[in-house]
Amino acid sequence: MADALDAFVEAARGRIEAALDRYLPKPPSCPPLVNEAMRYSVFAGGKRFRPILTLAAADAIGPSAADLAVPAACAVELIHTYSLIHDDLPAMDNDTLRRGRPTLHTVYGDGIAILAGDALQAEAFALVAREPGTSDGTICDRKLRAVQVLGEAAGAAGMVGGQAIDLEAAGQAIGRTIVLDRAGLQAMHLRKTGALIRAAATSGAIMAGGDPGAIAAVDEWASEVGLAFQIVDDILDVEGSAEGLGKTAGKDAARAKPTYPSLFGLERSREMAQECVDRAWRILKNARLTGGQLGAIAEWVVRRKT
């Protein structure tokens, strides 16, 4: 299983990297500085976990139609990268390390970092609307649905809402502070991290032509995997190193941010992540979607060290 997953991930990552290079605007269509700043963050490395999910979900639905999901996969990565750029800003997490290199704002300044993030988000939606270029009404309908899914995940009901809750819980929202219990912590992460992971997988299933039942199952599976991913992220923030993670370790504890380990301890947090994966497997089995790499990806989420 591991060998098959490794081969799939390597091939998917190569397709994504090539497509990102092809799709990102270049001068003279955009100013050189904007192009340079966008590429600094987009090609800084990273696992490409979310766009790989898009291609894996498409492959699970219909391998012959998986090519249709490549633009949506790239759009997911552009949205994710924009969110990291903005999260690292002094007004948010005020971080100086991302993917093993200085954060964008520390190299180009806050203003250019904000603009580069804005540009990446806008380009993501333009990309899904534009590619694949076709007059086929069925494909155009899938693209429209994918745009809706990605927009909802990135907006107030998704990542933006989750980040706002995070700022309130960290005491960074002027005049507003909240204390999160387990339900509140899970609700925050389902928006901040889980929403885009769900959208990544769901948009792949949509672009591959999945029926409503299959798309719903992929969405439910991704919700469990997204929560497991965040729990493991919280664990790694405690146990990992900056060198291994490619970002500042221990920053959540330093800022007294609520995390799964801080509320439940490391051992129970590990158990909760595995419980998510167990539920994800049951969803795949019930939907008869165990033939692709989705199950192996869920297992990788709880084993990962970075």
Domain ranges of the chain: 2-303
- For residue 123, is pLDDT > 90? yes
- CA–CA distance from 87 to each of 99, 142, 161 (Å)? 13, 30, 13
- For residue 249, is pLDDT > 70? no
pLDDT value of position 242? 56
- Burial (CB < 10 A; 0-12, 13-18, 19+), residue 285, is exposed
Q: Give the residue-averaged pLDDT of 233-261.
A: 70
Going by C-alpha positions, the residue among 162, 146, 155 that lies closest to residue 74 is 146
Full-prediction pTM beyond 0.85?
Answer: yes
pLDDT value of position 99? 87
pLDDT digits (tens, 9 = 90+) for 31-83: 999 999 999 999 998 899 999 999 999 999 998 888 999 999 999 999 999 99
pLDDT value of position 250? 55
Q: Residue 173: pLDDT band by 50, 70, 90 thresholds?
A: confident
Q: DSSP state, 102?
A: E
Residue where the block lists tokens 């429209």 = 144
Q: Residue 192: pLDDT band by 50, 70, 90 thresholds?
A: very high
CA–CA distance, 306 with 290 (Å, rounded to integer): 26
Planar angle of CA 298, 300, 302, nearest 5 degrees = 80
Q: What is the CATH number of domain 2-303?
A: 1.10.600.10
- Which residues, in sequence order, are bridge partners of residue 176? 173
